[in-house]
């Protein structure tokens, strides 16, 4: 590379995400992709969008095509503040920053808080986009394992005691408490409380990322960590990407006004403002009350796909393969028998036009080689049936080979 010697040190932390590489693959229409965490394009409310956009350009095109305030479109901030308040986290519009999807929230928070070598706690496995955003600022990401109730607060407490002795207390913890990406699990109420107590005790922030919370297909909703936060210690990320459209790139960040002011300044230097057209489209779509109806209509449709994928896994996957049973969101987390390589299974699957995400990318270190993330949100029922059946065959064959080897040895 000709100009590599001019790169900053952090360039070594800029890695191409395995998930993003799949964005390209999934553009081929005959691929059975369980890879991207995409909402289904089949469910986009096209007619409504067309109607809203026509009115928008006719009535406020001057503003929809113009630069807007860095903090975001005022009415949208107000709407979101009301929404958050209704959901148990009282706030004003001044506490809302509009972002280009939640991903920008992760970037800006990392930019504001992370010095090279600072500790940031992450879930293991954790959302690859969050891990990347944090890593780009050269954080030392310390992983805390998850189980079916979310992050293990007992292990977190032990880790914090150790970090304190080393004088390396974390700046913040990043986590997805609802229908976690990639595992689909929810963090229990008790653990949310324990986490808040630990954050207070050791004085770090909590970056709560909640893109999937509204997509619950069964069970009781659990209060957000933000709703239990009495100190302004939680920075909350929300998004229209899963409930409406990711292509408009409109998410939000809720925090204390002084943090919003600082993040807003950082955002200004990053991209001046988020796109006005998408913000005003989201506002009209949401504030008209249409979004509630739309989300309600999404639930049975995504639930159908989840149920189908779980049923197919039950039917086609050989014994020894394990998976989570998420109550919402987009993801099922699959664990192959120890020693099997998800990467090699993926390469074989791709030959037969089936895609999922190799789990290793969701781990900070070299773990998780026998894990995989399956998204049930985007593929049609036909593709789910066919794709999981094909994978079942591949897995049967792999396990037969593994068994033979073991016997020979």
Site for a copy of itself in 163-222 (CB under 8 A): 171-172, 203-205
Q: Which 7-26 positions form the footprint of a copy of itself (CB under 8 A)?
A: 7-11, 14-17, 20, 23-24
Radius of gyration for the alpha carbons in the chain, expressed in angstroms and rounded: 22
Which one-letter DSSP state was computed for residue 376?
Answer: -
**Pick from 324, 331, 361, 328: nearest CA to 343:** 361
Query: What are φ and ψ of residue 125, in 5° steps?
Result: -75, 155
333 sits in which H/E element = strand 331-335
From 158-166, 277-285, 349-357, 395-403, give the range in contact with a copy of itself by CB under 8 A.
277-285
Cβ proximity to a copy of itself, 19 vs 312, nearer residue = 19
Cβ proximity to a copy of itself, 139 vs 313, nearer residue = 139
When asked if residue 229 is in the footprint of a copy of itself (CB under 8 A), the reply is no
When asked if residue 377 is in the footprint of a copy of itself (CB under 8 A), the reply is no
Cβ proximity to a copy of itself, 7 vs 197, nearer residue = 7
Binding mask 90-119 for a copy of itself (x = CB under 8 A): ---------xxx-xx--x---xxxxx--x-
Binding mask 299-338 for a copy of itself (x = CB under 8 A): ----------------------------------------
Q: Is the peptide bond before 182 cis (omega within 30 degrees of 0)?
A: yes
Angle between helix axes 290-316 and 276-287 (nearest 10 degrees) is 90
Cβ proximity to a copy of itself, 40 vs 341, nearer residue = 40
- C-alpha to C-alpha distance for 126 and 141, rounded to whole angstroms: 11
Cβ proximity to a copy of itself, 264 vs 370, nearer residue = 264
From 30, 258, 366, 406, residue interacting with a copy of itself (rule: CB under 8 A): 258
Within 10 angstroms of residue 166's Cβ, the number of other Cβ atoms is 8
Cβ proximity to a copy of itself, 103 vs 335, nearer residue = 103
What is the total count of residues that contact a copy of itself (CB under 8 A)?
92
Q: Is 96 helix (H, G, I), strand (E, B) or coil?
A: strand
Up-side HSE of residue 183: CA atoms within 13 Å toward CB?
A: 24
- C-alpha to C-alpha distance for 321 and 299, rounded to whole angstroms: 27
Query: What are φ and ψ of residue 254, in 5° steps?
Result: -115, 130
**Pick from 175, 256, 257, 250: nearest CA to 213:** 175
Q: How far is the CB of 204 from a copy of itself (least distance, A)?
A: 7
From 135-143, 181-189, 368-376, 386-394, give the range in contact with a copy of itself by CB under 8 A.
135-143
- C-alpha to C-alpha distance for 374 and 183, rounded to whole angstroms: 9
From 72, 125, 132, 326, residue interacting with a copy of itself (rule: CB under 8 A): 132
- C-alpha to C-alpha distance for 157 and 316, rounded to whole angstroms: 40
Q: Count H helices, E strands: the chain? A: 12, 14
Q: How far is the CB of 52 from a copy of itself (least distance, A)?
A: 10
Q: How far is the CB of 161 from a copy of itself (least distance, A)?
A: 20
Cβ proximity to a copy of itself, 3 vs 220, nearer residue = 3
Q: Which 56-95 positions form the footprint of a copy of itself (CB under 8 A)?
A: 57-58, 61-70
From 212-220, 238-246, 310-318, 391-399, give the range in contact with a copy of itself by CB under 8 A.
238-246
Q: Is 247 helix (H, G, I), strand (E, B) or coil?
A: coil
Q: How far is the CB of 273 from a copy of itself (least distance, A)?
A: 7
When asked if residue 239 is in the footprint of a copy of itself (CB under 8 A), the reply is no
Q: For residue 219, count CB atoms less than 10 angstroms from its CB and return exposed for 0-12, middle for 13-18, buried for 19 or more.
A: exposed
For residue 353, give every residue at least 6 positions away whose Cβ sits within 8 Å of its Cβ, in sequence order, or none: 28, 30, 31, 32
From 215, 277, 372, 388, residue interacting with a copy of itself (rule: CB under 8 A): 277
Cβ proximity to a copy of itself, 10 vs 162, nearer residue = 10
Which one-letter DSSP state was computed for residue 277?
Answer: H
From 32, 121, 151, 273, residue interacting with a copy of itself (rule: CB under 8 A): 273
């Amino acid at each position: 590379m000709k100009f590599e010697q001019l790169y900053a040190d952090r360039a070594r932390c800029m890695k191409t995400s395995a998930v993003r590489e799949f964005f390209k693959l999934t553009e081929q229409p005959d691929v059975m992709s369980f890879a991207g965490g995409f909402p289904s394009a089949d469910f986009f409310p096209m007619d409504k969008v067309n109607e809203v956009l026509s009115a928008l350009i006719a009535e406020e095109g001057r503003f929809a095509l113009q630069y807007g305030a860095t903090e975001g479109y005022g009415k949208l901030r107000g709407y979101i503040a009301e929404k958050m308040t209704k959901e148990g986290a009282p706030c004003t519009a001044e506490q809302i920053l509009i972002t280009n999807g939640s991903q920008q929230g992760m970037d800006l928070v990392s930019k504001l808080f992370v010095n090279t070598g600072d500790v940031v706690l992450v879930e293991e496995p954790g959302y690859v986009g969050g891990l990347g955003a944090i890593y780009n600022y050269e954080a030392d990401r310390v992983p805390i394992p998850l189980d079916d109730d979310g992050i293990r607060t007992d292990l977190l407490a032990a880790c914090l005691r150790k970090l304190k002795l080393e004088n390396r207390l974390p700046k913040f913890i990043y986590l997805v408490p609802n229908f976690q990406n990639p595992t689909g699990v929810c963090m229990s109420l008790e653990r949310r409380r324990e986490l808040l107590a630990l954050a207070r005790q050791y004085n770090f922030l909590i970056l709560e990322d909640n893109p999937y919370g509204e997509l619950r297909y069964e069970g009781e909703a659990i209060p957000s960590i933000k709703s239990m936060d009495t100190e302004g210690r939680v920075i909350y990320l929300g998004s229209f990407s899963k409930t409406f459209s990711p292509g408009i790139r409109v998410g939000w960040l809720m925090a204390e006004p002084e943090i919003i002011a600082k993040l807003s300044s950082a955002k200004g230097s990053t991209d001046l403002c988020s796109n006005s057209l998408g913000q005003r489209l989201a506002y009209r779509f949401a504030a008209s009350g249409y979004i509630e109806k739309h989300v309600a209509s999404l639930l049975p449709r995504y639930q159908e796909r989840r149920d189908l994928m779980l049923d197919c896994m039950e039917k086609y996957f050989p014994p020894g393969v394990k998976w989570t049973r998420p109550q919402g969101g987009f993801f099922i987390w699959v664990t192959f028998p120890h020693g099997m390589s998800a990467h090699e299974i993926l390469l074989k699957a791709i030959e037969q036009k089936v895609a999922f995400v190799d789990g290793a990318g969701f781990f900070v270190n070299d773990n998780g080689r026998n894990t995989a993330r399956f998204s049930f949100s985007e593929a049609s029922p036909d593709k789910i049936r066919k794709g999981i059946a094909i994978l079942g065959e591949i897995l049967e064959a792999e396990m037969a080979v593994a068994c033979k080897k073991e016997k020979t040895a």
